Amino acid sequence: MSTQVAICLTSRGNYARTGTLLHALDDDPDTELDIIVAGASMIRKYGTLSELLREDGLEIERELYNVLEGGTPVASAKTTGLGMIEFTSVLNELDPDGVITIADRYETMSVTLAASYLNIPVIHTQGGEITGSIDEKVRHATTKMADYHFVSTEKSLDVVKGLGEEGDRVFLTGCPSIDLVEDIDQNGNDQYDPQEDYAGVGAQIDIDEDYLVVQYHPVATEYMSEYDRTWELINAVDDLNVQAFWFWPNMDAGTNQVSKAIREYRDQRSPDDVRFYINMHPDDYLTLVSNSACMVGNSSVGIRECSYLGKPTVNIGNRQQMRERGPNVLDVKCETEDIKDGINQQLSAGSFERSTLYGNGNAGEKMKQIIRQTDLTMKQPMKPEQLDL
């Protein structure tokens, strides 16, 4: 009898961080995979996901529209509530043996709670990491709701166990996004042409010369000042004489503030060395990053995937505050001069040693094996000794 697991993807990042697991589950005759696409993944301006999954040979069980407009905390909260209502219907109907819930975005709570309240075991990935923003609350709360934990780093393993989770339900697997990076590193991705294949807007970039990849997301807990912060970054990139691929922000509260600044920059200065993108297929995006001179912004890609690539990263502000990082990351404040200095410093650094902090390229397969070999159950009440009390 095969094990049926459901997963809900709400962003392209979700796919990058679980892709090799999804394909492993899909390929194995002893496991069955139900993919639900929802959230930002259903909205054109954040980059839709379904077509891309189908092209990659994955079937989609359900598509759900649940994003409230506004780019505010209210929109985030209602999006989660609405998602919870609809995921409940879907999970109740699909009735899987387990539900995979990914990382720490606020809307993942709707999947985690729907599954938990339906008495379906929850498998959580990327637990035990430590960062800023509302993600921090969501991540650890999810750990306490989840029944199984697939963590990326040794320290995360300690944190999840430290939070009282039973040792035999916590697995150090690494992050499937490192599998992708490893694959690109080994096998390349020759055919891709970021400017031919994707409808970016702005300047033509010479990809044989140095270029930055810039990705700056709003921080929900401080979202009202993101317009000003985005301009700090814009002025830094604009001052430097280096090309850039710039990606629009995710849908977190503050998204409109970030977007407004970018749009004004584009309209008012028409920069001749910056090209703007919504997003790309994870493979192509990681190839772009891999070939870049430096990653700039506050995306976790600069910390996770770039650690394995040894790619220099300028990490800005509080969003990734406290996240475990390799030697490739330089932290700077969100001020123009600091960012400029940081980029210059990282450009001269060139590249760094590979770090296997976030995995060594076989996370998806490991995760699949555990799912396949486990009779998924809900965890027992926490025993005080699990907290070393």
Among 27, 30, 360, 378, binds its own copies (CB under 8 A): 378
Contact status: 41 vs its own copies (CB under 8 A): no
C-beta of residue 353 within 8 angstroms of C-beta of residue 310: yes
Contact status: 199 vs its own copies (CB under 8 A): no
Contact status: 269 vs its own copies (CB under 8 A): no
**What would the x/- binding string for its own copies be over residues 343 to 362, using CB under 8 A?**
--------------------
Nearest distance, CB of residue 310 and its own copies, angstroms: 25
- Residues 157-186 within binding reach of its own copies (CB under 8 A): 158-159, 162-164
Task: Strand 211-215: give its sheet, edge to edge.
Answer: 201-202, 274-277, 243-247, 211-215, 294-297, 313-316, 329-332
Nearer to its own copies, 43 or 207 (CB): 43
Task: Strand 31-37: give its sheet, edge to edge.
Answer: 62-63, 31-37, 3-9, 98-102, 122-125, 148-151, 170-172
Buried b (16+ CB within 10 A) or exposed e, 130-150: bbbbbbbebbbebbebbbbbb
Among 17, 23, 105, 140, binds its own copies (CB under 8 A): 140
Contact status: 228 vs its own copies (CB under 8 A): no
Nearer to its own copies, 227 or 362 (CB): 227
Nearest distance, CB of residue 85 and its own copies, angstroms: 4
Nearest distance, CB of residue 2 and its own copies, angstroms: 24
CA 268 to chain centre: 31
Which are the contacts of 362, defined by CB distance < 8 A and separation ≥ 6?
174, 179
**What would the x/- binding string for its own copies be over residues 54 to 93, using CB under 8 A?**
--------xxxxxxxxx-xxxxxxx-xxxxxxx-xx--xx
Contact status: 331 vs its own copies (CB under 8 A): no
C-beta of residue 210 within 8 angstroms of C-beta of residue 311: no
Element spanning 4, H or E: strand 3-9
Nearer to its own copies, 196 or 267 (CB): 267
Nearer to its own copies, 35 or 159 (CB): 159
